[in-house]
């Protein structure tokens, strides 16, 4: 039976913004499920779910509404991996893609490469958009608040985790895929690349497992989180244990966050250690979309 799990980022999600998250998660699940229930493959399901959240101007930090860097520019990162053959596409620091994850899939399907960055990736965008298109009133205001605080002695570090989006699916043929898309971290340096577009760190899939991560990217990069989780599962570690150890590794590397997982034997699972995780999943019978508030690891109950 096909399955889909999505996240809309790990971090602190203000009460007032939760209805927008719920709507966005449900729209993403509906878009991805429409692919799976008509026999479409896991890659297309994850792309549809993620691009739906990228286009959401109200909730998420990906595509429209991506967090601006310190110069006020939106630079997007994304990746998609197909478990069946390990094919992968990724883009980083792109400025003109309305859907970075679709661009990542173009790299996967149509180039001899896995990861294209900056102008080289932007050059492949079929219908480029400008900075103004990607900024929203919310992302602009967040950046202005961030900028106003720079130079203050007690200026807070940039917030951890901020509504990155991801999807992991298993299709009717049993194949797995993972996709992640993000604006990165508010106030990041120009050219900074997080974990989302790095295969094995923030996004990964093979024949056994698919993973999408969210949180402080530098820690996920150092911990090579997604691939390390896959290796632990392959070595026989239980799913909940592997999730807990993934989060512990991230903490050991100075970060926090969350991740979603699908396994070839049909399980969906998640874990996070931030204040909140925006999470949704569906197996066609049950659909859940919520902002979770108690750090945990869990395997989604089967039908
Ligand atoms: N992992 C993302 C990054 O560091 C941010 C996030 O998930 O909120 O680019």
Q: Which residue has the tokens 């991230």?
A: 250
Show Cβ contacts of residue 55 under 8 Å, excluding neighbours closer than 6 positions: 63, 64, 98, 99
176-219: pLDDT as tens digits:
999 999 999 999 999 999 999 999 999 999 999 999 999 999 99
66 CB within 6 A, ligand 1: no
Q: By percentage, how much of the chain surpasses pLDDT 70? A: 96
State the CB neighbour count (10 A cutoff) for residue 296. 16
pLDDT at 154 over 70: no
pLDDT at 25 over 50: yes
Of ligand 1's listed atoms, the one at least distance from the Cα of 196 is 1
pLDDT bin (cut points 50, 70, 90) of residue 280 is very high
Distance CA 272, CA 246 (A): 10
Instruction: Give the pair of three-digit tokens for residue 209.
Output: 């497992």
Per the annotation, the verdict on 164 as an active-site residue is: yes
Q: Which residue has the tokens 């392959």?
A: 234
pLDDT at 85 over 80: yes
Give residue 153's pLDDT. Answer: 58
Task: Indicate the average pLDDT of the chain.
Answer: 94
82 HSE (CA, 13 A, CB side) = 19
Q: By percentage, how much of the chain surpasses pLDDT 90? A: 82
130-153: pLDDT as tens digits:
988 889 888 898 899 888 888 765
Give residue 138's pLDDT. Answer: 86
Give residue 155's pLDDT. Answer: 57
5-18: pLDDT as tens digits:
999 999 998 898 89
Instruction: Give the pair of three-digit tokens for residue 87.
Output: 């094919």
Q: Which of 166, 196, 226 to mutate to test the pocket of ligand 1 (most atoms within 8 A of CB)?
A: 196
| Interval 66-75 mean pLDDT | 92
Strand 115-117 relative to strand 88-94: parallel, antiparallel, unpaired? Answer: parallel
Q: How far is CA 37 from the centre of its chain?
A: 23
Q: Which of 182, 183, 255 to mutate to test the pocket of ligand 1 (most atoms within 8 A of CB)?
A: 182
Give residue 294's pLDDT. Answer: 85
* Domain 3-166+182-299 bears CATH identifier 3.60.20.30: yes
Of ligand 1's listed atoms, the one at least distance from the Cα of 161 is 8
pLDDT at 303 over 70: no
pLDDT at 160 over 50: no
Q: Using alpha carbons, select from 169, 171, 170 the residue that is nearest to residue 40.
A: 171
DSSP state for residue 199 in the 8-state scheme:
B
Q: What are phi and psi of 80, to 5 degrees?
A: -140, 140
pLDDT at 161 over 50: no
Cα–Cα distances (Å) from 143 to 11, 158, 261, 276, 291, in that order, read 17, 10, 32, 21, 24
Catalytic choice (46, 52, 160, 164): 164
The alpha carbon of 249 and the centre of ligand 1 are apart by a number of angstroms equal to 16
Q: Alpha helices, DSSP H only, in the chain?
A: 18-37, 42-54, 100-110, 118-122, 131-134, 137-149, 217-223, 225-234, 239-252
């Amino acid at each position: 039976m096909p399955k889909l799990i999505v996240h809309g980022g790990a971090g602190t999600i203000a009460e007032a913004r939760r209805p927008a998250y719920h709507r966005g998660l449900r729209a993403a699940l509906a878009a991805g499920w429409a692919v799976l229930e008509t026999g479409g493959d896991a890659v297309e399901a994850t792309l549809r779910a993620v691009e739906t959240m990228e286009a959401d101007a109200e909730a998420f930090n990906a595509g429209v509404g991506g967090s601006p860097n310190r110069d006020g520019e939106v630079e997007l990162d994304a990746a998609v991996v197909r478990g069946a053959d390990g094919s992968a596409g990724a883009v980083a620091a792109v400025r003109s893609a309305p859907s970075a994850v679709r661009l990542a899939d173009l790299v996967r399907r149509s180039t001899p490469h896995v990861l294209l960055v900056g102008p080289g990736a932007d050059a492949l965008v079929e219908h480029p958009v400008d900075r103004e298109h990607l900024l929203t009133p919310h992302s602009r205001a967040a950046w202005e608040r961030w900028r106003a605080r720079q130079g203050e002695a007690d200026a807070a570090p940039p917030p951890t985790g901020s509504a990155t989006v991801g999807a992991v699916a298993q299709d009717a043929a049993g194949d797995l895929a993972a996709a992640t898309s993000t604006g990165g971290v508010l106030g990041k340096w120009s050219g900074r690349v997080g974990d989302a577009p790095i295969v094995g760190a923030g996004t990964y899939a093979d024949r056994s497992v698919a993973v999408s991560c969210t949180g402080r990217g530098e820690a996920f990069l150092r911990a090579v989180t997604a691939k390390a989780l896959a290796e632990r599962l392959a070595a026989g570690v239980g799913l909940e244990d592997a999730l807990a150890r993934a989060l512990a590794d991230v903490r050991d590397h100075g970060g926090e966050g969350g991740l979603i997982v699908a396994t070839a034997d049909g399980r969906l699972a998640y874990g996070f250690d931030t204040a909140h995780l925006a999470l949704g999943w569906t197996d066609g019978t049950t659909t859940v979309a919520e902002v979770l508030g108690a750090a945990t690891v869990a395997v989604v109950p089967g039908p």
